[in-house]
Structure 1
């Protein structure tokens, strides 16, 4: 059974989340490198979906005692903020987008919001399933 609101969930295991982070990173890189060998829909959307899933794992790693819902909300808020920021094209922001650290996207796409929702949702479902098995 999942913990009730007044019960604290067991803290996330950082070693597990570290492995999930590495696996998701590898899958994301592979989805770009081997895109030509993947079905078109997977090649087009896997990277954005895995990027959001990575955000979920990273936030869970950094906040091991936060609820799953808060981690999911934080990861979605971050991903959606990055996407919506692509509607703004100030010169200083465009210059930042042309750096390695700032190249999180260059144009707003509604499909990215769906990918982010699927990625974070997948992490949330996996975590809740794991918590149910752990308790």
Structure 2
């Protein structure tokens, strides 16, 4: 089974559930002041959102989109103008856009994406074993 190259159909209910769980865990990390776990979970959430939106996208493409999105958001933190800094001052704006650029955040995003890849491969392997080949 070569999921990296092959197109697979994802289950939106399962992915939506995973997204909700990851959001909950991410918000909990803010309460406990976990240094990079929140960034890892944020990237994991983005990975599963990509899979939720594009249910038939190749794993490789989903990985590229999620990684690019995370990196663009992080690099956008180097840009400071009144309008975007006002958005960042709101709770939702701060959660989505972040505040300060950090190279270590990019590493944390990479870890989150890799966790997403591993989980997706496990999900497809379990579904293949249970229901047969699920590729389109």
TMscore range, shorter length = 0.7 to 0.9
Tell me: CA distance 1:14–1:28, structure 2 relative to 1, closer, same or farther (3 Å): same
Query: Retained in 2: the 8 A contact 1:49–1:116?
Result: yes
Question: 10, 16, 19: which one pairs with 1:18?
Answer: 16
Distance 1:59 1:130 in 2: 16
Instruction: Name the residue aligned to 2:81.
Output: 90
- Deviation track 1:37-90 (CA, whole Å, cap 9, x = no partner) reads xxxxxx111001000100011110010000111111111111100110111112
Instruction: Name the residue aligned to 1:100.
Output: 91
Show structure 1 runs of 5+ residues with no match. 36-42
Show structure 2 runs of 5+ residues with no match. none
Question: 86, 106, 111: which one pairs with 1:118?
Answer: 111
- DSSP-derived class of the 2:41 partner: helix
TM-score (norm 1): 0.84
Give how far 1:125 is off. 1.6
Q: How many residues align?
A: 126
Distance 1:100 1:77 in 2: 23
Displaced runs of 4 or more, over 3 A: none
Instruction: Name the residue aligned to 1:2.
Output: 2
Query: Retained in 2: the 8 A contact 1:87–1:108?
Result: yes
